[in-house]
Amino acid sequence: MTALPLPPAVVPRPATDVAVVGGGPVGVFLAVLLAQAGVSVQVLEQRLERSPHSRAIGIHPPALAALAEAGVAKTMSSEGVQIRRGEARSGGRPVAAVDFSAASSRFPYVLTLPQLRTEAILEARLRELDPQALVRGARVDSLHDDGGRVLLRGTTGRAGEAEAAAGRADEADTGPAFGASARIIVAADGARSPVRTLLGTPCPTRALPDTYLMGDFADSTGDGPVGVLYLESGGIVESFPLPGGIRRWVAHTDTLMGAATAGDLAALVAERTGVRPDPETNTMLSAFSVRTGLARELVRGRTVLIGDAAHEVSPIGGQGMNLGWLDAAELAPIITASLRGDTVGAELAAYGRTRRRAAVVASLQAQLNMMLGRPLAPRLLAVRNAGLSRLFQVPAAGNLVARRFTMQ
């Protein structure tokens, strides 16, 4: 799948109403909402290029409703795979099934679309509204809130994907310094948010014991647009369809397998499920561990945290990117009202409370998903699977699970 071409490099504007630090899917989405409302906005992103890895792939119905307000949900839905049914299997036999189509009347599915394409669609929409809004290669090094505006200082440069992801943009080539000011700053700069560090906002994090290995392969399962969870004694294996006849496999591992090959993942999947992906068709491979974190405050002065800068949740369940979009959807009208001169102190306080609460719920849901996917002795696994099978025979229980899984 070919991504849209990147725009030519631009330099930061000296002054805007809003500066969004971080040009990932959450920051660009917020910028689209603000630009649609007539707000002067620029996005400062330290990377010069989008990541080639399709990290987050799941888009849930509440996020699709928010994306519709930005004019991009129709394009995404037409390009992605619409998963209307999920199944749990164990030992080659069905355990339970979930009907996602019953969870939402407007978007009766979970959509899968590689993050690379998601970002390209959002960036194209932002360029339609303001061709100069996204500034790549701009790293923010300091900020000062004088009570009326926030002054940002930084450098332009050539931060690569690896340095930016690790928060080591200082290792990349740097260019001229810049200064820019905005009435409001929004930090959408990731789980290791440099802006959050500059603010001195505490964000306690906790490492969880779970590790995973995931990869994308040509789909040879015959399952079509169905998401499958294999509940096996060695640990869960998740399987989700992607556009272009690709299927993502995610397997729980005993330790972090940072040096694993596509063949290693294929063998692990085959051992637990009986399905062997072809290693020669692998297009993405990644081992990861899990952390959770929640900033103690999301609003400080004229700066607001959203997305992973505000809360880090397990990627299991695919809630992180969606949670950030919902942050942005709630924040955008508050910012717009503030710029009109309205008093929004109560609304900002409510935003902090509701978004922190949403992050806690998402984190608990993700941790429950991980618990169900940990290794379990065969005898205990059989008992648990039998209980799940009986539970899902109750329609109300199945509908509740479908709604919770889809963040509703």
Query: What is the band of 174 on the pLDDT scale with cuts at 50, 70, 90?
Result: low
Rg (CA), the chain: 21
Check whether 252 has a pLDDT greater than 80.
yes
Query: What is the band of 185 on the pLDDT scale with cuts at 50, 70, 90?
Result: very high
pLDDT at 43: 98
CA distance 300 to 297: 7
pLDDT at 170: 46
Handedness of CA 91, 94, 100, 101 (dihedral sign): positive
Which residue is associated with the tokens 């369940």?
Answer: 317
CA distance 1 to 24: 19
Query: Which range has the worst mean pLDDT, 61-65, 154-158, 356-360, 386-390?
Result: 154-158
Q: What is the mean pLDDT of residues 65-76?
A: 97
Give pLDDT tens digits for 92-108.
Answer: 999 999 998 877 889 99
Check whether 236 has a pLDDT greater than 70.
yes
Query: Which range has the worst mean pLDDT, 8-22, 170-184, 212-226, 379-393?
Result: 170-184
pLDDT at 49: 85
CB-based contacts of 94, cutoff 8 Å, min separation 6: 87, 88
Check whether 376 has a pLDDT greater than 70.
yes
Check whether 165 has a pLDDT greater than 70.
no
Check whether 163 has a pLDDT greater than 60.
no
Query: Which range has the worst mean pLDDT, 172-181, 326-335, 345-354?
Result: 172-181
Sheet of strand 81-83: strand arrangement: 58-59, 110-112, 81-83
Q: Helix (H, G, I), strand (E, B), or coil: what is residue 212?
A: strand
- Specify whether the backbone of 61 is left (phi greater than 0), alpha (psi in -120 to 50) or beta: alpha
The backbone torsions φ and ψ at residue 396, rounded to the nearest 5 degrees and listed phi first, read: -65, -35
Q: What is the mean pLDDT of residues 174-195?
A: 93
Give pLDDT tens digits for 126-146.
Answer: 999 999 999 999 999 999 999
CA distance 288 to 291: 10
Could you report how far apart the first and last alpha carbons of the chain are, in Å?
Answer: 30
Residue type, 101: S
Higher per-residue confidence, 171 vs 74: 74
Query: What is the band of 8 on the pLDDT scale with cuts at 50, 70, 90?
Result: very low
Q: What is the mean pLDDT of residues 184-201?
A: 96
Higher per-residue confidence, 370 vs 329: 329
pLDDT at 158: 57
Query: Which range has the worst mean pLDDT, 12-26, 161-175, 234-248, 350-364?
Result: 161-175
Check whether 247 has a pLDDT greater than 60.
yes
Query: Which range has the worst mean pLDDT, 26-30, 234-238, 364-368?
Result: 364-368
pLDDT at 227: 96
Are β-strands 41-45 and 134-136 bridged in parallel, bridged antiparallel, or unpaired?
Answer: parallel
Q: Where are the beta strands (DSSP E) in 11-129?
A: 15-21, 41-45, 58-59, 81-83, 85-90, 93-99, 110-112
* 121 neighbors 67 (Cβ within 8 angstroms): no
Q: What is the mean pLDDT of residues 236-264?
A: 97
Query: What is the band of 11 on the pLDDT scale with cuts at 50, 70, 90?
Result: confident
Exposure letters 374-403 (e unless 16+ CB within 10 A, then b)? eebeeeebeeebeebbeebeeeeebeebbb
CB half-sphere exposure, 75, CA atoms < 13 A: 14
Query: What is the band of 53 on the pLDDT scale with cuts at 50, 70, 90?
Result: low
pLDDT at 62: 95
pLDDT at 164: 47
